Chain A
């Protein structure tokens, strides 16, 4: 199974939720956006994106509907649900807490 090896498990979920919080997007667009924002540092493979989308949908955090895309083909657009937004807030808060703690430790001056 190809898991995002260098991505903290669960972080991908948060990123997807964050991207979808800005606007509804289809799978392709989400993958492009992921690459843009993270400047390829996180290296999310397309292989792990779709299972993650399906998982989020089944947790009720995002919903999907078929709409014509820019090039007028049918595409599946994902958007955030209300519980998804709450989840995003929760995860952001906990992310901030954890990252603040970690950066605090990392920046400790050696005596």
Chain B
């Protein structure tokens, strides 16, 4: 329809929409006029009055039909019908409040679970950084190394080369998470921040609301630009929104920084998992990172970065260009870059933040909530089917007086739409409440809660509306399908009794129950597998003692200790702690296993091991103090532990793990052999047992240790082996630390078991969520089965009464009903079993040493479902057994 015609048609359309009664009256008048004229003409031809009328009506072919056809011909009818159906549907729902509330609650649950998970996927994986421009073109940038799976960090120098050479990148910026103790007034607490390249704020398109971002020169030099941009929340909460904040000095890690800007409200940086509170330029790296000045070395890999691709560039194209740049760097700088390259990842696969850890969980959740929605729909469809039975009288009458089947279908779909729309609205409200709930399932660390907000934006809304329409179609389909079989005469004659007359519908309802049972079975199997896996993870030995060892840290870097002072302090503290009753031993280490810290990685060379041309062996290692292995309970298989004498003045030494021995020395005891670390040769003095280093789920990997004194860091973690309770150790430690220096703070103290538990929190999240939803699914399936059985019993009282009259006892009827219910359940379980066998493979990424087809899990879920199904049938069966044959047959 072109514009002009559309304009011309508007008056008639608007009139029939808003003055439909008048338009209808006029149409009737017009038709009556025509009829009168025809009658007059017929009379003039000599017919009797009665005959004239009859002939005229026959010529027109039925006034009512013509009226309806005229209404249909008016295009506005679609809207008009819809408004009418809407009103009618609402009245229908209000007439049955119990039914309506139940149906809407079911759908709220289903759509709500979906909207919540969508909001998490959107807020954590797809658009994780509020206010950051063009996230659809943003990719995580990290390094790769031959022989290592996954990502490595990048060196500043390599990053600068990449930024200069990449033509397909619109921009590239560094954002490396760091932390600091922040003291404002007398209140000190941990703050999270990012070390960023100077182009950071420009590249992400975020303007500070006060002051400025960084200038190009500010990421050059060694600790040369102590400037900081703080977050809006920090400014509001800690500085009371001081309008004169710009230019004020604030100590971060004991170095005075000038506050040059305040970021806008709602900007939380670019790290999934934590809300950033401050940003410092890369030139301040030494103050925040251990290991000295790294901006000019290609060997020091410490940064995490992002690139934004130019519009129209695909990920593959960009990756090709980056690989070419990486290959060139490997040729130009073979000693540092051989076998290394660049790689980009979509934001949801970012290897260096919590996106990667949550991705498998959220993937599974998307599937799980899809199941829950289907189960909820099946329940509502079942409810609607019951109602369509009680409404078939109404439907038949409407058909009989001339409504078309299409019109009835529209009516039923409209009613479905009302339910779906109310359910979806409820679901979005639920999602709004729960959008930040994911973080509640994760344990708090170091007193700072993680920041994992869900986001309900236009895309999530659109998806929810799409789901709403899908639900409408699903729940509207079943009753509509049923009207297909409606014949005009049947229901008008008499209410037929018994299940026989309703076989088609009974079949459909049973089918829906079978579907529910099978979907619930799959969900419960998933939940049980995850539960068993978590149990396995938590009971598996990580290779070190978890119960009687605590881990903590002391704020040496924040207090501005230099290397010499830090060394003295560490030795004195260990001496004092070891002398305490109840403390067995204590040792510093750079990183606690399974903690948040990341290990250093270094290229190595091994005496007598010839790497292939392209291989550049590089391994992760830990710097540990004297007594580390006995403190942690890591067995030494050969040789000795590090001692106080393995210091900076002594020959370099190393301890390697068993897997490393197997890889580089073919299993021969390497004690006394040499290992090259960071270009210097160290002698191997011991072999340690394998243990878990970063994750409970990791495979055993080659790893080695060097003495802390020979590769020093100022801010290591402290591990204490003791049988004292945690609060007692904590109090003692604070006392001892303050005895040495009252200005030092002691970090949060936890047992290694707690550390293990925290590292497995993604599994815990998955278990919790899938268990909750699996439980709900079981409940819904139980309710569905109960509904079908109660309905069947209520409909067949006559049959039951007859059976009783013919001699069936109460026990027979009880058995009859329960066995029918169990037959349905068995059908569902068979399908569920097959579906679960096929689908649990999707869980593999989250499972630890549990087969996706674990027979114990399948068996126990079978048992649980059978028990639930039996209990769901008990009440209807009991009612059936109480049938009074005399009364039923009399009625």
Measured CB to CB, the residues of A under 8 A from B are 1-2, 26-28, 31, 45-47, 50-52, 54-55, 57-61, 63-64, 66, 73-76, 81-84, 87
Contacts and interface: CB of A to CB of B under 8 A. Distances in A.
B5 A59 contact: yes
Most buried by B among A27, A31, A47, A57: A57
A27 B38 CA distance: 12
A54 B70 contact: yes
23 contacts: A27-B31, A27-B33, A28-B33, A45-B60, A47-B69, A50-B27, A52-B73, A54-B74, A55-B74, A57-B12, A57-B74, A59-B1, A59-B5, A59-B9, A60-B5, A60-B6, A60-B8, A64-B12, A74-B29, A76-B30, A76-B33, A82-B8, A83-B4
Interface of B: 1, 4-13, 16, 26-27, 29-31, 33-34, 37-38, 59-62, 65-66, 69-70, 72-76
A50 B30 contact: yes
A2 B72 CA distance: 14
A17 to B, nearest CB: 13
B33 A75 contact: yes
A16 B7 CA distance: 21
Given A27-B34, A60-B12, 4 more contacts: A47-B61, A50-B31, A50-B34, A66-B26
- Give chain B's interface secondary structure class: helix
Contacts of B8: 60-61, 63, 81-84
A67 to B, nearest CB: 12
A75 B32 CA distance: 10
B37 A28 contact: yes
A46 B32 CA distance: 12
Given A27-B33, A31-B34, A46 B27 contact: no
B12 A47 contact: no
Contacts of B37: 28
A63 B7 CA distance: 12
Contacts of A57: 12, 74
Please give me the 3 A-B residue pairs with the lowest Cβ-Cβ distance, nearest first. A60-B8, A60-B9, A47-B61
Nearest to B59: A46
B66 A47 contact: yes
Contacts of A26: 30, 33
Nearest to A75: B33
A1 B72 CA distance: 12
A61 B2 CA distance: 12
B76 A58 contact: yes
B73 A51 contact: yes
Contact of A2 (B6, B10, B12, B65): B65
Contacts of B11: 63
A107 B4 CA distance: 40
A26 B61 CA distance: 19
Contact of B59 (A45, A66, A84): A45
A47 B33 contact: no
A1 B59 contact: no
Given A47-B62, A60-B5, A83-B8, A73 B33 contact: yes
A32 to B, nearest CB: 9
Given A52-B73, A58-B73, A59-B5, A2 B61 contact: yes
Contacts of B38: 28, 46
A31 B30 CA distance: 13
Nearest to A2: B61
Contacts of A83: 4-5, 8
Nearest to B9: A60
